[in-house]
Amino acid sequence: MGRLDYSTVLNTAIEISKKAGVKILEIYNNTNIDISFKNDNSPLTEADKASNEVIEKELKKLTPSIPILSEEGKDIKFKTRQKWNLFWLIDPLDGTKEFIKRNGEFTVNIALISDGEPILGIVFAPVLDTIWYGDMKKGSFKSKKNKKPFKIKTTKPQKDNPVKVVTSRSHTNNPKLKEFLMDYPKHELVKMGSSIKICCVADGTAHIYPRLGPTMEWDTAAAHAVVKFAGGNIYDLEKMNQLKYNKSSLLNPEFLVNHT
């Protein structure tokens, strides 16, 4: 992190995520949500854009020399990105489908990536007023409704108890998931939206999260830091290596979020 005050950077980034959350809630509480569609036909709302503007503006003030990669600015060429040893990776609103469904399970995600690995991450769920964050020095924490943050750790399933498997609300009928779960005859499904799923493993609400479909780097980076510094990790299911960031393709491989 060079001469940056690590603690100040984390605390300020937490406040930035909350500021973005305020912007999102202003739009969320408006009965008429303006929805457009991205190139891959996934929905985009004015809340994505408003949140992105807040985060980018504030991060540029906080760390002017650190570049930013966002879902909203994903067209930066790899030729440029590959020179980045340290950069912010953000998803201003993860869980747009949950936002549109108004179930509250969407998040603001801010991560700091160093040499392809997350070293700091913040996941804020505005409607739930819950924040998870983690960094390589202090570990991972959770706070609800502005109460004092408490340290979180991943948990292993107890003997003879079911393995709690977190899964997306919209991917429960995935044939790959059904095949994967055959290795866990005694399991309980915990359905959740957005990057909260990864945070569920981090705080012990769930034990594992298999993602057997496409995601992008900004979908996982912030929560990856949270689960990593809570004792778990995210593994590429094919190679079983830790998930890497700032690849030539920003598409993640299929992965497993595990408690260890």
CATH number reported for the structural domain that contains residue 186 in this entry: 3.40.190.80
Same domain, 11 and 133: yes
Where the chain has pLDDT below 50, the residues are: 1, 41
What crossing angle do the helices spanning 46-62 and 6-28 adopt, rounded to 10°? 160
**In terms of Cα–Cα distance, which of 217, 253, 191, 212 is closest to 94?**
217
Q: Are 260 and 154 in contact (CB under 8 A)?
A: yes
Q: How many domains does the chain have?
A: 2
> Based on the domain organization, do 179 and 66 belong to the same domain?
no
CA 154 to chain centre: 16
Flag whether 101 is in a domain. yes
pLDDT score recorded for residue 31: 59
> Looking at the structure, do residues 194 and 174 belong to the same domain, yes or no?
yes
Tell me which of 151, 174, 201 is where a domain ends.
151
pLDDT digits (tens, 9 = 90+) for 141-188: 999 998 999 999 999 999 889 999 999 876 667 889 989 999 998 999
State residue 124's pLDDT score: 98
Nearest to residue 130, comparing CAs of 117, 114, 146?
146
User: How far is it, in rounded angstroms, from Cα 58 to Cα 25?
Assistant: 18
- The range of the structural domain enclosing residue 82 comes to 6-151
Same domain assignment for residues 249 and 177: yes
Instruction: Order across the sheet with 233-236: list the strands.
Output: 209-211, 255-258, 233-236
Residues 114 and 175 in one domain: no
Say what the pLDDT of residue 38 is.
Answer: 58
